[in-house]
Structure formats: C-alpha cells, structure tokens
C-alpha cells in the first residue's frame, strides 16, 4: 500500500496490517526482556511478570502504522496523534522568527494560531511533516520537563523547533515538546532535507506534545477535545478562517 494513490471515489485497496515497530524500541524491549529473564532465573516472580508484560508494551508504544495523507496545495495535516488540548493566538517562538544566519526566512512576527496536540503514552509517537517542502531549521532547546498539557510547556520545556518552507516560499513551523515522562526527542530530519506532507520527521519518547503554528489569516479546522491522527487529519487550510463549533457527546 505504501506510495499507492487512494481517493474518496473508491480508488485503491485497504486492509488491516500489523504496524511496523520502529527500531528505537529494540534496546528498551531488550533491557526489559533480559531483566525479566534474570528475575525469573532467581525466582523473583513479583518482578519477572511485570517486566515480561513491559516488553510488548514497549513495542506497542513504538508502533509506526502506515497513514494515508490527504493531498492538497493548501492543506496542513496533523504532525502528531493525540488530543487537541489548546488553541491559542500567540507569537511564534523566537527560534522560528529570528534570522539564523542561513539566509532562509523564518516565520513573520505577529499573532498566529497555535494548535497544541497532547500525546499520551497510548498514542503513536512518530511525528510527521504537516506540509511538504524543504526543512530550513531544526533547533533544539534544552529545558524543563513540566506536564506537556500546560500552556507554559511551550516556552519552558525541552523542545525542538522545525521549520519547513513550501514550494511557494511560505514557511510552516511546529515544535516537538518533551513532557513530564518524555526525556528524549529523536529527529529523523536535518536542514536541507526535502519532505512530502505526512513524511516521518521524528519521535518523542514516552508522552509529550506537538505545537503547530498556522500562517497568519488561517484558523483551525479542528476543535478543542478532538482526537487527531498524524499524517491524516487536516488541521487547517491556508487562508481559511471559519468558526467551527462542536458538541461533546
């Protein structure tokens, strides 16, 4: 199915498959597995069984399912699986605005809409590009490990900013944020890389958050409390400003 074109008129085929497991999981699963065997060898069953259960749990956390990314010149798709917890009008991060000396333009200063996606430990943690284009910035910022659900986590937690410049010159920025449990942001991309919308860009280990900064004049097409899927859910369409309301039920 990878690379296959599907549409809303029946073209293409789909079937359920076991998701692939990202190699980042192997070392953690191996440690838990060896520890379980050692505990079993010494008859420490109280520890052996929980460690044994931890092995498939770790593999499940690092699952990397295939996604079908909607194609459209102005679409911004979700970079993360998770819950929409915050939608705010904010100034974009200075790391995405200030001149970085490369000559590539950053985001323009001024208020924009920020969509925050909270990833629990049960969500897929592979992050994907919200738009296609060229990676212009990957900026790591050390920081705290506050609860990623807090608004101030955007400015105080360990984080990594990524800026993608589309073919029309418009730049889209997003930020991977470490959380209370997350302790490592693992990038898959570097400045100069060419990406397609929905392509994998990195992962955050063990619970975290991703912020997306929409261009000026663009508002969210998702609502507070909605679940979104990385590489599939359309967060916004550039240039569209519509009030959309929902009902929790």
The model's pLDDT over 172-221, given as tens digits with 9 standing for 90+, comes to 999 999 866 655 788 899 999 999 999 999 988 776 899 999 999 999 99
Asked if residue 81 has pLDDT above 90, the reply is yes
Structural domain including 181 reads: 75-237
The number of folded domains in the chain is 2
Q: Is residue 165 domain-shared with residue 118, that is, in the same domain?
A: yes
In-domain check, residue 13: no
Q: What is the CATH number of the domain that holds 170?
A: 2.70.70
Same domain membership, residue 230 and residue 164: yes
Q: Does 50 lie in the same domain as 150?
A: no
Rounded Cα gap, residues 130 and 128, in angstroms = 6
Residue 181's pLDDT is: 60
Note whether 80 and 139 are same-domain residues.
Answer: yes
pLDDT, position 207: 65
With bands split at pLDDT 50, 70 and 90, how would you rate the model's confidence at 152? Answer: low
- Asked if the structure places residue 70 within a domain, the reply is no
Looking at the structure, do residues 183 and 84 belong to the same domain, yes or no? yes
Residue in the block written with tokens 């049960």: 122
Average pLDDT on 103-124 reads 91
| Tens digit of each residue's pLDDT (9 = 90 or more) over 221-242 | 999 999 999 999 999 999 999 8
Decide the pairing of beta strands 126-128 and 194-195. unpaired
Structural contact between residues 171 and 165, judged by C-beta atoms closer than 8 angstroms = yes
- Give the pLDDT band (50/70/90) at residue 145: low
Domain boundary (8, 36, 61) is at 61
Average pLDDT of the chain is 89
Q: Quick one: 101 and 216 in the same domain?
A: yes
- The answer to the question of residue 68 being in a domain is no
Instruction: Give the residue numbers marked as catalytic.
Output: 208
Output the pLDDT for position 70.
Answer: 95
d(CA 9, CA 23): 36
The percent of residues in the chain predicted with pLDDT above 70, rounded, is 91
Same domain, 141 and 227: yes
115 and 180 fall within a common domain = yes
Residues 31 and 128 in one domain: no
- Can you give the pLDDT at residue 45? 86
For the cut 80, the answer to whether the pLDDT of residue 146 exceeds it is: no
Looking at residue 165, its pLDDT comes to: 95
In a domain, 67, yes or no: no
Taking the C-alpha atoms of residue 14 and residue 208, their distance in angstroms, rounded to an integer, is: 30
In a domain, 100, yes or no: yes
Looking at the structure, do residues 85 and 203 belong to the same domain, yes or no?
Answer: yes
Strands 112-119, 20-21: parallel, antiparallel or unpaired by DSSP? unpaired
209, containing H or E segment: strand 208-213
52 plus 167 within the same structural domain: no
Q: Which of 13-17, 30-34, 83-87 has the lowest mean pLDDT?
A: 13-17
Calpha distance 202→125 (Å, rounded): 9
| Assigned domain for 247 exists | no
CA proximity to 164, closest of 125, 232, 215 = 215
Domain boundary among 61, 89, 108: 61
Confidence of residue 158 (pLDDT cuts 50, 70, 90): confident
Q: Does 56 lie in the same domain as 84? A: no
């Amino acid at each position: 199915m990878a690379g296959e074109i599907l549409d809303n008129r029946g073209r293409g085929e789909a079937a359920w498959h076991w998701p692939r497991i990202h190699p980042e999981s192997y070392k953690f699963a191996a440690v838990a597995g060896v520890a379980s065997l050692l505990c079993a060898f010494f008859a420490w069953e109280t520890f052996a069984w929980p460690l044994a259960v931890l092995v498939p749990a770790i593999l499940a956390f690092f699952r990397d399912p295939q996604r079908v990314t909607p194609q459209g010149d102005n679409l911004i798709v979700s970079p993360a699986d998770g819950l929409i917890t915050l939608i705010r009008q904010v100034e974009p991060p200075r790391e995405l605005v200030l001149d970085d000396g490369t000559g590539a333009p950053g985001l323009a200063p001024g208020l924009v809409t920020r969509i925050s996606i909270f990833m629990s430990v049960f969500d897929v943690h592979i992050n994907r590009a919200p738009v296609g284009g060229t990676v212009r910035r990957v900026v790591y910022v050390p920081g705290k490990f506050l609860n990623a659900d807090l608004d101030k986590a955007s400015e105080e937690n360990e984080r990594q900013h990524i800026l993608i410049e589309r073919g029309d010159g418009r730049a889209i920025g997003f930020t991977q944020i470490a959380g209370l449990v997350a302790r490592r942001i693992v990038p898959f991309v570097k400045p100069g890389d060419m990406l397609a919308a929905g392509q994998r860009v990195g992962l955050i280990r063990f619970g975290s958050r991703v912020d997306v900064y929409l261009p000026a004049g663009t508002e969210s097409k998702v609502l507070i409390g909605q679940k979104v899927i990385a590489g599939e859910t359309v967060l916004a369409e550039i240039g569209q400003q519509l009030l959309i309301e929902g009902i929790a039920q």
